Amino acid sequence: MILFTKFRKIIYTVSIILVAVSLASIAVFGLKFGIEFTGGSVLEVQYENQAPSLEEVQEQISVLDLGDVSVQVSGDNRVILKMKPVDEQQKEEILLKMQAMGAVEPGSESFQVIGPVIGRELKNKTQIVIVLSLLSILIYVAVSFRKISRPVKSYFYGLTGIVALCHDIIIPLGVFAWLGHYAGTEVTIPIITALLTVFGYSINDSVVVFDRIRENLFKSKGGSFDAIVDASLNQTLGRSVNTSFTVILVLLAILLFGGSTLRYFSLALLLGVAFGTYSSIFLASLLIVTLFESKQKRVLKKAKIK
């Protein structure tokens, strides 16, 4: 049997380093939000044959002085441009440049303008969704484990689950901050959707372990709490690893072969699932043991004072 609780300090150190590096990346580089949040224009053009290369599109567009333009090639023949808000005249100039690089399918152009007010509103709603999701998870776990009053209160399970969730989200965000600085990667709605999906996946994995701890607590007539947690983790280890491994295989396939439009969505999910599995096994349950031991020390300290 693997004694997970014995290596808590090493596990905590690794997690703290990963989170610290990620927070430093976010603080130094910042997150590069897509125009869904900042406002701007999106132009999609479909070519009859092979689309021009990214370098060729960027070279042609650069002479129009549009500022920072994000260029994506979707499939073999579709090009997507994301830029600051442009007027009708600038749009026509861009289309002329795009048509000069190859035959464009008639009527295939798609043009959208997202105002900054809509972008701010979307960002605010995203923040509200994240906060409500965290509160809902905390309440759900606390209610589900309300019958467990020993050796720690039921809401401790919810709190450690939230800590693990923050760990699982901060690290991918740190990666995207780094990618945004060095590769121009933007945080878009699909990436936010992927991270919200990680919320559900990660807490589900943690709840499976918590549920086994609950069962073992009811069955046990003695024994230390850390031994019960170790036994529970060993009993659920195979299930957690096997489930996550199959999900990761699918996400790797999407990342490698799914095309540019799915690349960062699958990367966000891949990072979230990987670190979510890690935290549910090595972090959430071990934090409960640490809280329990801290509580015991306070009780002993009070007893000595009396």
What's the CATH code of the domain at 87? 3.30.70.3400
HSE toward the beta carbon, residue 163, CA cutoff 13 A: 17
The whole-angstrom separation of Cα 58 and Cα 174 is: 27
**Do 52 and 194 belong to one domain?**
no
**Do 129 and 73 belong to one domain?**
no
- Could you say which of 114, 134, 158 is where a domain stops? 114
pLDDT digits (tens, 9 = 90+) for 92-147: 888 888 887 877 777 777 788 776 666 677 777 777 877 887 787 777 777 776 66
pLDDT digits (tens, 9 = 90+) for 230-289: 888 999 888 888 888 999 999 999 888 877 778 889 999 999 999 988 988 888 888 888
Identify the domain containing residue 22 by its residue range.
4-34+117-305
**Do 100 and 149 belong to one domain?**
no
**Do 62 and 194 belong to one domain?**
no
**Do 80 and 92 belong to one domain?**
yes
Handedness of CA 176, 178, 183, 187 (dihedral sign): positive
- Is the pTM of the predicted complex or chain greater than 0.85? no
The whole-angstrom separation of Cα 158 and Cα 149 is: 13
How many domains are contained in the chain?
A: 2
Q: Which amino acid is at 149?
A: S
303 — pLDDT class (breaks 50, 70, 90)? low
**Do 70 and 191 belong to one domain?**
no
Order of strands, edge to edge, in the sheet holding 70-74?
70-74, 78-83, 40-46, 110-114
**Do 63 and 193 belong to one domain?**
no
